[in-house]
Amino acid sequence: MLQRITAYLLHVANGSKPTVGRQEFYDLKRRLVERHGHSDGSEDVQEITKECWNCNGTGRHPDSWAHDKRCWRCSDGIHQRFWVRLMRWEWRGYLFHLPGPKLWMKPDLPVTIRGYIQHRTRGVLANETRLWLYLLHDRRAFWLDFTGHAYGEWQWWPLTNLQRYAMPLKAWASKWRKRPCSLCGKGFRRPFQSGIWFICRRCERQSKAQPIMDDIDGIPF
């Protein structure tokens, strides 16, 4: 039962790239799929083509006054092209791709996927399922994602809605950590800080007490 729930959560969460902790998510995906899923030995070849932003994929210099009309960043409008071999894995009725390393030369296999794979599930639902997946299998990644970003508006999903309060609470809690003063080097805490945040109160009072020197006489004209 737990495997079925986890496979569903991973399937939905995989529909949208994480805002933070992207590597942690894909590492967890690989661990779960390789541990519980099975591969039939087949694979897809994905071709990724990135157009040159300088010439918008035309291969021509965008400025009409240029002597050399060829784009100086590319030769054919393509900034980058590479291929990825995607191993097909099945887990509880869901298909997952586990990518290999980038290939800068086309493999001797037909290209079956051009561009990035488009998923139907995106946004809040993918974020919610990813948080539940982390909560079940990776608490460190959960805390990184839970306190790393948030949606601005109220949501119906419980963890995504609580996420709106986790970020400011983490920022407030970080003020209780002792940090070195950038002037005197002594450790200080300012949980209810006001004024300059990177120096202690003693140095801040001293900096305000020092008179402002009038350097008009030193101007050499």
CA–CA gap between residue 115 and residue 117 (Å, rounded): 7
Mean pLDDT of 107-123: 83
pLDDT above 70 as % of the chain: 86
CA–CA gap between residue 213 and residue 109 (Å, rounded): 74
pLDDT: which is higher, 211 or 155:
155
- pTM (global) more than 0.75: no
pLDDT: which is higher, 188 or 62:
188
Mean pLDDT of 132-142: 94
Give me the chain's average pLDDT, please: 83
Q: What is the pLDDT of residues 11-53, one digit of tens each?
A: 999 988 888 889 999 999 999 999 999 998 899 999 999 988 8
In the chain, where the domains are located: 2-163, 179-209
Long-range contacts of 100-107 (CB under 8 A, 24+ apart): 106/47, 107/45, 107/83
